[in-house]
Amino acid sequence: MLVWKHFYRRPLGIGIPISGGTAMNTRITAPLFKQWDPSWSEQTLGATDSPMGSTGCTVCSLAMALTSRGFQFDPPSLNGQLATHQAFTPSGLVIWSGVSAVTNGGAKAHLDNRPTHGAIDSQLAAGNPVIAKVLYDNRIWHWVLITGKSATDYLIHDPLSSGPEYELMTAYPSGIYAIRYLEKP
């Protein structure tokens, strides 16, 4: 049995479907931060030259998740705190261990690069939103916040779209490639 599981495990780089798992109806309250918001869209991401308006999806998604869990961050304040705690790579990617630093040890990020519907569903059932890595336009990595589920369809707060809260993941049909969620240490 162990050999079968190892042999048929989903390889890295292949996303799971954007719907599936246990049917449930749940919505998690989280703010909706758009990376193109004029209040912060021109602010550079960490120490890069890239404006948050084009590269701030991770910071916006993380700010939404942290705020939903009781930590008060908007994208510019989180961006500043992550930079202060050196939680960006030189290219502007978030170093996820920095979550513990910006929350003074109140939360840490759990990284899952082989997500399953079961893992996402268990977090949603516990009232914990899930940050999900998807492909925008089937070619650019993008992060969104899964904030609920309607039957087997995941609902998201998308920092890039002009859509409302709790929109379906239909804009990202290639799947979910990785997830991050917050844990209390």
pTM of the shown model: 0.92
In the chain, where are the structural domains located?
Answer: 22-183
Could you report the per-residue pLDDT of 9-40, keeping only the tens digit for each?
444 567 999 999 999 999 999 999 999 999 99
- CA dist 163 and 158 (Å) reads 8
- CA dist 71 and 98 (Å) reads 14
How much is the pLDDT for 179?
Answer: 98
Q: Which CATH superfamily is domain 22-183 in?
A: Cysteine proteinases (3.90.70.10)
Band of the pLDDT at 107, cuts 50, 70, 90? Answer: very high
Could you report the per-residue pLDDT of 149-184, keeping only the tens digit for each?
999 999 999 999 998 889 999 999 999 999 999 998
Band of the pLDDT at 118, cuts 50, 70, 90? Answer: very high
Pairing verdict, β 19-27 and 167-168: unpaired
- CA dist 166 and 157 (Å) reads 6
